[in-house]
């Protein structure tokens, strides 16, 4: 199911400005800019880099670029680069020949071959290793590659759309991402706004998710109680639209009447009660962010331009630590709450030196 919210029907009058792309909900000024750039770039062959926090719907925009392009008749192939190790990801992307490694009992085509004539979407591109980045750069520049374990060169006609929830320029500065690959991918960037920057879209998203989960669960939650939308629009949404989707699904399942009420929403949204012994509620990311930003500013070397990277890393580390605590250390649950792949979470836990136990 799409993260930005999809519907086969128009959600009423959208007013002036850039019209929404079919299948995407939202008419805020921030989303109108996304629509404008998406339509403009779709007709070209340029590489696209989609940027945005976890849960904003990067894959949906990538799909829209493909759907609006002259490659729409070809395949749209998705690859989550953060879900596989380097060796497995290389085989997944480029394929392998029989005997290339243990378990390679037959020749196998990779995702680039599967995407021939269409588009390949490389999500979490920031998770790739420097070694693999060299091979991706070759595909972008030379339009060719070899299967793992083979010497025969294959040509490819594939448009590449990449996505990252990290600041790739900061990754370049930290020498975790190749600068030449960054500039090859970042021909046309599309930044998807977090939900807190498009709060006016929340009512339409809520209506869509209510309709969807009523149908899926055979429920009839069709009314929204006073104060519910206000609570949802006041919340800061660290998990973005994916988090909203989760809460609406939970509310539909737990509702005993036909009404969506504030009591069905999690405490972090309503902020109605702070658990005993907690200095601040789990969802109080504003206070957390301010505290961490001040720490990062205090430690960063301003002359080296290290503020942004340190602050982002600290905020992410503290957020992951809090979610792990809430989930009792169970990484599968924490990954679902954060809206990221479990392997990606495991890697971040290792990078940040957090407790790696998975109860």
Over pLDDT 70: what percentage of the chain? 82
Q: Which pairs with CB-CB distance under 8 Å and at least 24 residues apart come from 322-330?
A: 322/282, 322/288, 324/349, 324/354, 324/355, 326/282, 328/359, 329/355, 329/357, 329/358, 329/359, 330/358, 330/359
Encoded tokens for 314: 């600290």
CA–CA dist 119, 160 (Å, integer): 6
Q: Which residue segments constitute the domains of the chain, with CATH numbers given? A: 29-193 (3.40.50.300), 196-270 (1.10.8.60), 285-352 (1.10.10.60)
Q: Give the whole-angstrom CA distance, residue 215 versus residue 197.
A: 29
Whether pLDDT at 5 is above 60: no
Is residue 275 classed as helix, strand or coil in its secondary structure? coil
Structure tokens at 110: 């990779």
Residue-by-residue DSSP string for 128-153 = S-HHHHHHHHHHHHHSEEE-BT---E
Q: Which of 2-11, 243-252, 277-286 has the highest mean pLDDT?
A: 243-252
**What does the mean pLDDT of the chain come to?**
84
User: Does residue 232 surpass a pLDDT of 90?
Assistant: yes
| pLDDT score for 209 | 96
- pLDDT single digits (tens) 347-356: 888 888 886 4
Instruction: Please state the φ and ψ torsions of residue 15, each to the nearest 5 degrees.
Output: 75, -170
**300-324: buried (b, 16+ CB within 10 Å) or exposed (e) per residue?**
beeeeebeebbbbbbbbbbbbebbb
From the number of C-beta atoms within 10 Å of its C-beta (0-12, 13-18, 19+), residue 114 rates as middle
The confidence band for 307, taking pLDDT boundaries of 50, 70 and 90, is low
Quick check: 300 and 312 in contact, CB under 8 A? no
- This prediction has a pTM of 0.73
Give the distance, in angstroms, between the CA of residue 157 and the centroid of all CA atoms in the same chain. Answer: 26
* pLDDT confidence bin for 126, thresholds 50/70/90: very high
């Amino acid at each position: 199911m799409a993260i930005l919210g999809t519907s086969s029907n128009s959600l009423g009058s959208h007013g002036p400005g850039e019209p929404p792309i079919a299948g995407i909900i939202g008419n805020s000024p921030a989303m109108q800019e996304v629509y404008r750039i998406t339509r403009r770039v779709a007709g070209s062959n340029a590489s696209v880099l989609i940027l945005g926090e976890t849960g904003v719907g990067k894959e949906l925009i990538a799909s829209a670029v493909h759907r609006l392009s002259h490659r729409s008749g070809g395949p749209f192939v998705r690859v989550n680069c953060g879900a596989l190790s380097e060796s497995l990801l290389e085989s997944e992307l480029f394929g392998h020949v029989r005997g290339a490694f243990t378990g390679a009992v037959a020749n196998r085509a990779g995702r680039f071959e599967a995407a021939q004539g269409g588009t390949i979407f490389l999500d979490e591109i920031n998770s790739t290793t420097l070694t693999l980045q060299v091979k991706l750069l070759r595909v972008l520049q030379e339009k060719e590659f070899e299967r793992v374990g083979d010497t025969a060169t294959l040509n490819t006609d594939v448009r590449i759309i990449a996505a990252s929830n990290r600041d790739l320029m900061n990754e370049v500065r930290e020498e975790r991402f190749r600068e030449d690959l960054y500039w090859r991918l970042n021909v046309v960037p599309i930044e998807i706004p977090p939900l807190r920057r498009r709060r006016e879209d929340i009512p339409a998203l809520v209506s869509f998710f209510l309709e969807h989960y009523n149908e899926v669960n055979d429920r009839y939650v069709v009314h929204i109680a006073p104060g519910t939308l206000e609570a949802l629009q006041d919340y800061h949404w660290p998990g973005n639209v994916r988090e909203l989707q989760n809460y609406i699904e939970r509310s539909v399942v737990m509702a005993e009447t036909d009404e969506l009420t504030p009591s069905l929403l999690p405490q972090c949204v309503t902020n109605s009660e702070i658990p005993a012994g907690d200095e601040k509620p789990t969802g109080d990311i504003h206070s957390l962010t301010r505290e961490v930003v001040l720490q990062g500013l205090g430690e960063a070397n301003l002359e080296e331009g290290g503020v942004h990277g340190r602050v982002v890393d600290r905020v992410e580390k503290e957020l992951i630590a809090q979610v792990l605590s809430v989930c009792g250390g169970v990484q599968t649950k924490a990954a679902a709450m954060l809206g990221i792949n479990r392997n990606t979470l495991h890697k971040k836990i290792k990078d940040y030196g957090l407790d790696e136990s998975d109860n």
